[in-house]
Chains A and B, each alone.
Chain A
């Protein structure tokens, strides 16, 4: 168990390292960054001055090592556009994205888990069929279009919720629906199929043979086991949501990491872009680790091996 944990952690660190290399070199080999910063009407002198100022005249490997050494100390360099610490920018924006992702995940779980349980218990019934149809339809809805449609319906027509921004909790409702929507089909299917498997298992028959009431059978004996893979999936989905929030933040003009990334890409502000790629990747890696840990906590067969 311990050996497995150490191995798992080592691989995670290696993956993070690889991601940092990929992010750095892809962005730095794609053209003349100094030119991009200086703009098209800059004189060659200005460009070379910028090149020296940002250390872009050094060999690429040296640049990477400098950057990586900085990252280890939470120093992601300086933004070309804002002329400000990237770390500060990210620290300002990350809370919005984390809140958006968290609320979306919560929303998705609140909808998909009970629906999945219900669909499994009433397998083949109308709830089951409606839920499955909802899943297929849900997967086909583009997040950005769903977001725009929500704005048209709830902000413009009904005037219930604000169109854009990230100031109050009301600003988070529609974006969370748009982002959470994406995770519902996967979680619901896994819950339903897990419940179906579990409900057909021998130990559920044993639980019923004990005369336990249906709620006890369903929520203690069945759900507990069916939830084990769902919890892991939820952690991973949270990672996807953080990555996918870029679209939602753009639609709803939220001051989060995603919008920062989007604008930075458009402005060719590479230090910010590579920092965000790395931050999101590390968050994702951390979440998959968390999923494994949660799995072990929930499943005694893993915990006590």
Chain B
């Protein structure tokens, strides 16, 4: 890029400074750090699942059904978290299930983020009639009961992972749109946008180089919250039998499959449930921390 807009040159050095400041504030934010550490551990386990020398998550062994986890008297080191009703290793399924949750969370957020941000930026940037239409669409979307529509949608298009991702992605963009709209309105009033317009930058140029970078912070916070939301929704859909289909080791599905054994072997739902809570908790902590870290400094 040779012809940078004047504002870019003004912004670039301060961006570096802003990043340094971000790092300093992030490092001292306990919620952000806790979320980050847990998430890195989970993501690391999920990514390296094939390398960990785990049991095959799909391998059934009906002679070793419902072995309890290691903290029970009858547990064995062979299956640290026990086995499920088909004798599949629970630890292995849990870790492979983490892959599904993370993959689903991230993909969903990418789809919904693009949709929501697009709508929100358009509404905030153009205002007027565009804004009215977008607001109407958001209102309509909010009126749709999410769980029910997601269930019906997943049931219609069939319960493969990619279809669940698509359905959730098409549903969970409302918060992106609302936040992007507000943030764009604030940014669009700023001097550097007016300056860019004055020197004749194209609309797409302004949106991509002036607006998007400046509304990224709140959008990332929304992305974490929506990722958590998507993961919980997928678990609920799979639990209700209309999301991801067996034998995939989705955590929601694991809970659903364990439900009938939960009275005598409560760990079959405790283990994936706790995993779900920890993952969602970590993402939420990261998001909360991020919001505090990127928020403008308060007085005092």
Contacts and interface: CB of A to CB of B under 8 A. Distances in A.
Q: In their complex, do chains A and B touch, with some C-beta pair under 8 Å?
A: yes
Interface of A: 11, 14-16, 18-19, 22, 26-27, 30-31, 136-137, 139-145, 148-149, 151-152, 156, 242-244, 246-247, 250, 258, 261-262, 265-266, 268, 273, 276-277, 280-281, 284-285
B284 A247 contact: no
Contact of A281 (B145, B239, B280): B145
Interface residues of B, number: 43
B152 interface: yes
Interface stretch (B11-19, B69-77, B259-267): B259-267
Contacts of B288: 136
Given A11-B136, A19-B140, A30-B156, A277 B239 contact: no
B239 A247 contact: yes
A15 B137 CA distance: 9
Given A243-B145, A247-B239, A276-B148, A142 B136 contact: no
Interface of B: 31, 136, 139-140, 142-149, 151-153, 155-157, 228, 232, 235-236, 239-242, 252, 255, 259, 262-263, 266, 269-270, 273, 276-278, 280-281, 284-285, 288
7 contacts: A15-B143, A19-B140, A26-B153, A149-B269, A262-B240, A265-B155, A276-B148
Given A144-B239, A243-B146, A277-B145, A137 B151 contact: no
Contacts, number: 123
Contact of B259 (A31, A148, A243, A262): A148
A141 to B, nearest CB: 6
A242 B145 contact: yes
Contacts of B156: 26-27, 30-31
Contacts of B262: 148, 151-152
B232 A142 contact: yes
B255 A144 contact: yes
A277 B136 contact: no
Interface of B, helix, strand, loop or mixed by DSSP: helix
Interface of A, helix, strand, loop or mixed by DSSP: helix
A194 to B, nearest CB: 17
Nearest to A243: B145
A244 B147 contact: yes
Contacts of B142: 284
Contacts of A145: 235, 255, 269, 273, 276-277
A246 B147 contact: yes
A143 B236 contact: yes
B144 A281 contact: yes
Contact of A266 (B148, B155, B273): B155
A142 B156 CA distance: 24
Contact of A15 (B136, B276, B281): B136
Contact of B273 (A19, A149, A265, A285): A149
